[in-house]
Structure 1
Amino acid sequence: MTDTHSRPHTSVPGVRPASGHPRRRTVVAATAASAALLPLAGGLPSAHAAEGPAFLHGVASGDPLPDGVLLWTRVTPSAEAVPGSGKGSPVKVTWQVAEDEGFEHVVAHGTVTTDAAADHTVKADVRGLQPATAYWFRFAAGEAGSPAGRTRTTPADDADAANFRAGVVSCSHYEAGYFASYRHLAARDDLHAVIHLGDYIYEYGHQEYPLEGDVVRTVQPEHETLSLADYRVRHAHHKLDPDLQAMHAAHPVVAMWDDHEVANDTWSGGAGNHTPGEEGEWADRVRAAKQAYFEWMPVRPSTEGTTYRRLKFGRLADLHLLDLRSFRDQQASFGDGDVIDDPDRTITGRKQLDWLKAGLSSSTARWRMVGTSVMISPVAFGAVPAHLLGPLAELLGIPQEGLALNVDQWDGYTDDRRELLTHLRDQGIGNTVFLTGDIHMAFANEVPVKAATYPEDAPVATEFVVASVTSDNLDDILGVAPDTVSSVAEAAVRATNRHVKWLDMDSHGYGVLDIDAERAQMDYFVLSAKEEQDATTGVRRSYRTLSGSQRLEEADAPLRG
């Protein structure tokens, strides 16, 4: 339970001076805690026992609204109250929101009591704020204060916003590399938000993925996550990463999930990486994973405890976020065209697809963004040379002998895709941009209703697919230098799929999306090396779609920032 006040309140005991990103001492504390984690519970350095409460997992904000934002942190009340332990007394945590970095002008404050039932995580759904305004926030418990974070509300629903600019990320497997992408996004002061398209965590145990020899660092717990405690520890271990903490402290994050938040190739009744009986009941595992997710992420639960929901950015853009795991039918057998075209099979579920179609039809925004965790553009891989089919199949997680298309994507649920894309065409709904992750590659696609009739039939949407933050892509699997062997596969995919305007099978990084009245542009940033914590970054390519066109063109230059 929280309370919000408009009157100034200038002090919270123990709160340190504000900073846009975690201070050095906070980063040091997080690093020390990470090194001292116990295999299961994520134990903390014993020195914290004498200090009382501590904020070791940073602060975050998310799901911004015109008048509010969701604030998040995790308090460690005592040394034994480590994530997933179920230990520790209830703690009263206060929060503040201010107009300035020095917290001289506090505009809202309140109190939240948390306990072991919530893994001592804290959420405050703050309202009463001003639209399109930057704020600072912080927490305190007893004499302990959290680092400060910076967040931002969205424009009023009827406001003509000049632009919307967001970082776009997906697929951040801890053992595969460092989160340098998050650090670079944290350093930008021109973003309104960061959109995380899923696979924020991975469920695998140590050295299960990537394989032994490719592991950059060790995740906790070291075994595969199955129980509520396991998922809590995995989320907590990610939140100790200083680059991830910096991103969350710098920008509100709008997050959705994909499969690895539970298990690889999740569908409504199971997953490719779940063995019933041996690994418990599927329903219990899903319940545990979702509980931990909503405890540890700055996300408001939406319909039926899922992540599909809608946010608005004035009259400029709507963002429809999908949940493509909770309602989907099991993935089809490879090469079984009759199954993938079956109108009784679904990736969205009837209710969610109707919700999306209605939202797209009723939108009065200039642009309609759709966050989809898996690629909607049809892509056939059959023209890829035979010696690359095996590695590509491994990357996509599908059998080599069946590689023609990826049935875990919308390609495996063609009737839902046909219904959605036909709706866009028949209703004359323009300026729809799909934002996608999952595939560990970067794409810039035009989206036709039928790929076979493209380009004679105009596309009905565009799609920007961002590369992975760390998760393996083609050159990682082959153990070769980037932009060598993959160039052959890229050329083959483009030749077979004319609506694919560009793809990159090797890079790791993030996107920066900027939308204004005239165009939507994605700058694709790549890292110098995911294995290096201080990796540099640069723009690999920029693509844009002009308002009313549903076409893509390469942009002359990246956006400022």
Structure 2
Amino acid sequence: MNTVRSTPLRIEHPSKFGCDPRVSDNWLPDRTTLPSLSRRTLLKSSAALAGAGLTVAAAGTAAAAAAPAVGFAHGVASGDPLPDRVIIWTRVTPSADALPGSGVGETISLKWQMARDPAFAAVVRSGTVTVDADTDHTAKVDVTGLEPATAYHYRFTAHSGAVAGQVSPVGRTLTAPANDADIQRLRFGVVSCSNWEAGYFSAYRHLAQREDLDAILHLGDYIYEYGRGEYGARNGSVRPHEPAHEIVSLADYRIRHAQYKTDPDLMALHARIPFIATWDDHESADNAYKSGAENHNPATEGDWATRKANSTRAYFEWMPVRPTGGGTEVTTYRRFRFGNLAEISMLDLRTYRDEQTTATAGREVDSPDRTITGRAQMDWLTKGIVSSPTRWKVVGNPVMIAPTLIPPLDPRTTKALTDLIGLPQSGIPYGTDSWDGYAADRRRLYDAIATAGVDNTVFLTGDVHTSWACDLPVDAANYPGGATIGTELVVPSVTSPNMDDSLGVPPRTASLAAEEAYKAVNRHIRYLDFDSHGYGVFEIATAGSQMDWYYISDPIDPRATVRHGASFRVADGAQRTLPVGTPLDPAAHRPGA
């Protein structure tokens, strides 16, 4: 996404990537970069665990009680649920000097347990995992042999070192239903774009309080790479980034991931519901593409391949994500099936894309040689949608796929929107960072879906910090006539700046005219909110799917409240969005109950 600035794996069944992080010397920590995530921050995060309502067991030995370490200061997390397995994650701090990114600290043996009950009276799976500085003392276990559509509780216990006897918070997770299960309903929290400096993660807190979610879909920009004060809220930085500078080295990325995982609202959500996440650009650098990024200067920040490798390694160390591929081709695109009801294809739209065009590039955006997905991922995506045996085909789509044309607006409003959406100010009808800038790839995908006559394809999107409900016409110029290949539902940012933040005006003032102008020249766009921060709750059911948008009262208020903003529904087979007045009933769905 365009932004404007004010001035390896430890798993029970290892994949090709991460089973031995010593791939090359390029993967070693940059010990010349001193970590700035302080022990005070870690101690505060330990207190936050209790404040977030997470259960932390007391240390069981005198040695642990006397140790200067903080133990499990970053909480626990789970992710990538399958019918028989799920990833569980934690990070242990073995001593006061073994801060994230430090590259120091003793090897620690951890015991993990998975149980049907939070008291662990019925442990169903257990094992040990060893963590050390080479993986930044993160532990990641792919627990297998589980029952489908079942809620489990998990925890880690340190069995060696100064932290021996310390026990992690207890997490809760869910497995996916069996592939052949007859499923009537699924619900997901949908989020993106959580910038630490721009505010507090209240959206995560409100999602953690729900009991009707099967998983959280995170569509990217889980962290931001900027240095302090470079990209904050309308009134500056609400809370400073660590480290203070823009992150480039492996140590930098580790420190930044660690900082985000000290947020009590994020810790509570991770401990409550499994994540299905993919990355966008800010997990590495703004407007990243396969050989570089807009926010990367080789002269001062070194080789892009090294920086990308650093960000990738830290991501898979710190996120409960099951990598696909191996070596230099490790990626986040992968697919999840939920019975006979839905398949979710999560995309990686940064690793394989060609460089974004400029506003004056003309027909270059239509070149059949340009790609946003890469050929292998495009083949995987189209074949997966066309041949899917499920009723609904959902795409976790980091950047917008709906075509957009900028209407005539006053120059200041136009600039704010082009900065957010990535569109050129000249009025050319495409965005250089979205699928608009890769028209041939979008046409390939649209044609494959239309030719196969596939119904019920829904793209869930983040990136633009705003809320949209769009139909996806084969020919936008003829809409509402003609065929549509699916729908797109875009969720707002958790905290990252949107239109009123960029303009420095009250919410729902200047944006109202802009929203109406956008809908007038883009008739397939059915709903817009350019101002609000929050999240989506997305239901898939046999009769239709529905997105509820929820908006928080103020991203810079750590106690922000939440309100229902809008709801749109897509009936089974309809391929079009329709507004509905009532949000989903949280009591109507209890996964894992």
Per the alignment, residue 556 of structure 1 pairs with: 581
Q: CA RMSD in A?
A: 2.0
Per the alignment, residue 370 of structure 1 pairs with: 395
Asked if 1 retains the 8 angstrom alpha-carbon contact of 2:45 and 2:73, the reply is: no
Per the alignment, residue 548 of structure 2 pairs with: 523
Asked if 2 retains the 8 angstrom alpha-carbon contact of 1:30 and 1:240, the reply is: no
Asked if 2 retains the 8 angstrom alpha-carbon contact of 1:168 and 1:510, the reply is: yes
Secondary structure of the structure 2 residue equivalent to 1:284: helix
Distance in 2 separating the partners of 1:139 and 1:26: 19
Secondary structure of the structure 2 residue equivalent to 1:286: helix
User: Which residue identity does 1:85 align to in structure 2?
Assistant: S
Alignment of 1:124-135 (within 5 A): 124-135=141-152
Asked if 2 retains the 8 angstrom alpha-carbon contact of 1:389 and 1:403, the reply is: no
Distance in 1 separating the partners of 2:534 and 2:347: 22
Distance in 2 separating the partners of 1:251 and 1:27: 23
Q: After alignment, is 538-547 or 377-386 more displaced?
A: 377-386
The verdict on how the C-alpha distance between 1:501 and 1:536 changes in structure 2, with shifts beyond 3 A counting, is same
**Pairing 1:171–2:171 present:** no
Alignment of 1:133-532 (within 5 A): 133-141=150-158, 142-210=164-232, 213-303=235-325, 304-396=329-421, 400-401=425-426, 404-532=429-557
User: Which residue identity does 1:57 align to in structure 2?
Assistant: H
Distance in 1 separating the partners of 2:11 and 2:314: 21
Deviation at 1:407, TM superposition (A): 1.2
| 1:170-193: CA deviation from partner (whole Å, max 9, x where unpaired) | 000000010000000111111110
Per the alignment, residue 88 of structure 1 pairs with: 105
Deviation at 1:337, TM superposition (A): 2.8
The verdict on how the C-alpha distance between 1:355 and 1:185 changes in structure 2, with shifts beyond 3 A counting, is same
The verdict on how the C-alpha distance between 1:388 and 1:149 changes in structure 2, with shifts beyond 3 A counting, is same
Distance in 2 separating the partners of 1:28 and 1:55: 9
Deviation at 1:556, TM superposition (A): 3.0
Asked if 2 retains the 8 angstrom alpha-carbon contact of 1:27 and 1:242, the reply is: no
Number of residue pairs matched?
Answer: 529
Distance in 2 separating the partners of 1:104 and 1:374: 45
Distance in 2 separating the partners of 1:459 and 1:547: 14
Asked if 1 retains the 8 angstrom alpha-carbon contact of 2:233 and 2:496, the reply is: no
Q: Which residues of structure 2 form unaligned runs of 5+?
A: 1-9, 14-41, 51-63, 159-163, 587-593
Alignment of 1:530-549 (within 5 A): 530-549=555-574
| 1:485-529: CA deviation from partner (whole Å, max 9, x where unpaired) | 001110110000000000100000000001110111000000000
Per the alignment, residue 16 of structure 1 pairs with: none
Asked if 2 retains the 8 angstrom alpha-carbon contact of 1:167 and 1:512, the reply is: yes
The verdict on how the C-alpha distance between 1:404 and 1:215 changes in structure 2, with shifts beyond 3 A counting, is farther
Deviation at 1:2, TM superposition (A): 6.2
Distance in 2 separating the partners of 1:185 and 1:331: 34
The verdict on how the C-alpha distance between 1:137 and 1:270 changes in structure 2, with shifts beyond 3 A counting, is same
- Match 1:66 to one of 67, 71, 83: 83
What percent of counterpart residues are identical?
Answer: 52
Q: After alignment, is 227-236 or 202-211 more displaced?
A: 202-211
Distance in 2 separating the partners of 1:509 and 1:460: 28
Asked if 2 retains the 8 angstrom alpha-carbon contact of 1:466 and 1:524, the reply is: yes
The verdict on how the C-alpha distance between 1:48 and 1:459 changes in structure 2, with shifts beyond 3 A counting, is farther
TM-score w.r.t. structure 1 length? Answer: 0.91
| 1:33-82: CA deviation from partner (whole Å, max 9, x where unpaired) | 9xxxxxxxxxxxxx998255600000000000001100000011111110
Per the alignment, residue 19 of structure 1 pairs with: none
Per the alignment, residue 54 of structure 1 pairs with: 71
TM-score w.r.t. structure 2 length? Answer: 0.86
Distance in 2 separating the partners of 1:457 and 1:366: 23
Asked if 2 retains the 8 angstrom alpha-carbon contact of 1:405 and 1:411, the reply is: yes
Asked if 2 retains the 8 angstrom alpha-carbon contact of 1:490 and 1:503, the reply is: yes
| 1:9-42: CA deviation from partner (whole Å, max 9, x where unpaired) | xxxxxxxxxxxxxxxx997625599xxxxxxxxx
The verdict on how the C-alpha distance between 1:485 and 1:526 changes in structure 2, with shifts beyond 3 A counting, is same
Asked if 1 retains the 8 angstrom alpha-carbon contact of 2:323 and 2:332, the reply is: yes
The verdict on how the C-alpha distance between 1:60 and 1:211 changes in structure 2, with shifts beyond 3 A counting, is closer
Distance in 2 separating the partners of 1:403 and 1:78: 56
Distance in 2 separating the partners of 1:274 and 1:3: 36
